A and B are shown apart, each in its own frame.
Chain A
């Protein structure tokens, strides 16, 4: 259990607001399924769930708004919550996941691991390359050979990897 935060975290109010907006949109969609036509219609339970979300989301928003703001010198959203490091890693992951169907598991993972290791670990590129090769070989052997998982093969260079 974490104790109550004395100050509002950067971006917390926007997040709480987004929770409410999302919940209201979800409720609207849930209402659209079958409205109030019957008590056992497929839309009733989604309406109950999204209704709970709207109420609890509003409660979260109110209590967040009541929290005192951070001090003037405190780190902001980009230096505390979504740092440059997060943005780069999330960007790399998006690139990785989106490229996997095209270039296949081996090539995309090799590229992702190398870039991510190099960015986060900041060692000699040759060392990073060796680490990438070792870990990828291990992952490939364990999952392809032991677990017999069918790994994605790229549409671009199918047959190669």
Chain B
């Protein structure tokens, strides 16, 4: 316990690390807030610049950016009705009407306090449950990891995209990209086409930066001339009575956020929408109708999306399965630093786990400080025209990709992914599952082959393994349920059941 506390305090006692967390949080708030810049984009570019750093320094900065970014999206949602990030969509529904009434300052103050509150709930859950889950995950066998990988990709694919088929396609494409290069087991080339540039595989950071940076910049070109709306900011620190009034709602929303964040495949955006929906159902006599500046509707999604940050770290650190696109990128950062997120992370490198918990806590405190200050300057910065922002994103993406291995080929890949990603986004194929596929693909491949080896290449034994072990059985049923829910049979059964009720 004392040892864990010592690891936890590492970031708190080193002024340089404190500075990095603070810088990360502040930058994250602006990145999350500026429409066109996303946390995923920033984190993927940051990884390329920080991979030569000490792992603690890199993690301190990235944790700050993650926390700040998730919160930052709410500011533009309130001030400009443009959710800076998908997790702030619900916030815009209530925040912008409040801003139109001239209550933007108060709305920002309340969201800040509730975001920080939610953040703490998520971190506490991470500190309490990750060690338990990690211990439990030690019982997982290779086939369970294979199942978790498939479930994770399919969940991200189905929940974020237009259709199940598009999500599955994007995920499988990612897995295929992850297969390029020498096979780690037999050293046989896969999709290398005789080129030495492909022997080492396609750099997933290049893919990430292309899909999240350049592709997004190209999408933003469509809305280049959207004018910014000026805002009047007055009172920012929320009234204590307000905080007290929404306390229980914030607790419930944070609980939803943590659980949704911890499920593989679901992140802050879904957590926020579910919490918003819950607030809508549970608020009996709203001060104002929902959609016209209701505060319950503002508090719930904000507490939930920040709670999801801590929650999303749970599967990432204990199972090695990223919960959403941002954690997929962060898991990439951990790989680059030679770490292996999974059940053994807590056993082999407990200092790293507690250090992450420590930096997240610190980032949350900085969020409170930066969230309640500097809003006037903030409104000036977010008015930065997209015409200036887009070329800058492209330059940063190019330098970032080059910095990984000082190899221009990576930059060409990045550009190709950027253009392909643009078309994918335009036609409703989300790029998140692609990255998840690239990260999880090699893990799934090796676990598939291990499982098949254990079954001595006997197909019957292979299948029997999925139903004979309780953990595997639960995961198999979950996967089958997911697949079944996409078929016509499911909608037929549902219509029969509802018809039976009436």
Contact = CB atoms under 8 A, between A and B. Distances in A.
Contacts of A72: none
Interface residues of B, number: 65
Nearest to A114: B391
Contacts of B468: none
B412 interface: yes
B349 interface: no
Interface residues of A, number: 65
B262 to A, nearest CB: 20
Contacts of B415: 93-94, 97
A30 B189 CA distance: 11
Contact of A63 (B165, B222, B445, B462): B165
B387 A93 contact: no
Contacts, number: 170
B394 A96 contact: yes
Interface in A49-103: 49-50, 52-53, 56-57, 59-60, 63, 81, 83, 85-86, 89-90, 93-94, 96-97, 100-101
Interface in B244-274: none
Residue from B50, B172, B391 whose CB has the most chain A CB atoms within 10 Å: B391
Contacts of B386: 120
B191 A113 contact: no
A121 B385 CA distance: 8
Interface stretch (B101-109, B317-325, B395-403): B395-403
Nearest to B189: A33
B188 A19 contact: no
A125 interface: no
B408 A152 contact: yes
A45 B390 contact: no
B426 interface: yes
Given A42-B183, A46-B191, A90-B419, A97 B412 contact: yes
Contacts of B337: none
B190 interface: yes
Interface string B422-447: 11001110000000010001001100
B168 A113 contact: no
B224 interface: yes
A56 B168 contact: yes
A97 B449 CA distance: 39
Contacts of A129: none
A34 B188 CA distance: 9
Contacts of B484: none
Nearest to B430: A2
A50 B172 contact: yes
Given A97-B412, A97-B415, A52 B163 contact: no
A150 B387 contact: no
Given A97-B412, A143-B49, A2 B395 contact: no
Q: What are the 5 closest A-B residue pairs judged by CB atoms, nearest first?
A: A116-B391, A120-B387, A59-B165, A42-B183, A121-B387
23 contacts: A9-B426, A15-B427, A26-B176, A30-B176, A42-B185, A45-B444, A46-B179, A50-B172, A56-B165, A57-B165, A63-B163, A83-B221, A83-B222, A105-B399, A113-B391, A113-B395, A120-B390, A120-B391, A121-B385, A147-B403, A149-B49, A151-B402, A152-B402
Interface of A: 1-2, 4-5, 9, 11-12, 15-16, 19, 23, 26, 29-30, 33-34, 38-40, 42-46, 48-50, 52-53, 56-57, 59-60, 63, 81, 83, 85-86, 89-90, 93-94, 96-97, 100-101, 105, 109, 112-113, 116-117, 120-122, 131, 135, 139, 143, 147-152
Interface of B: 49-50, 52, 159-160, 162-163, 165-166, 168-169, 171-173, 175-176, 179, 183, 185-186, 188, 190-191, 214, 218, 221-222, 224, 385-388, 390-392, 394-396, 398-399, 402-403, 406, 408, 411-412, 415, 418-419, 422-423, 426-428, 437, 441, 444-445, 448-449, 452-453, 457, 459, 462
Given A39-B459, A149-B403, 6 more contacts: A46-B176, A89-B390, A97-B398, A112-B391, A120-B388, A121-B387
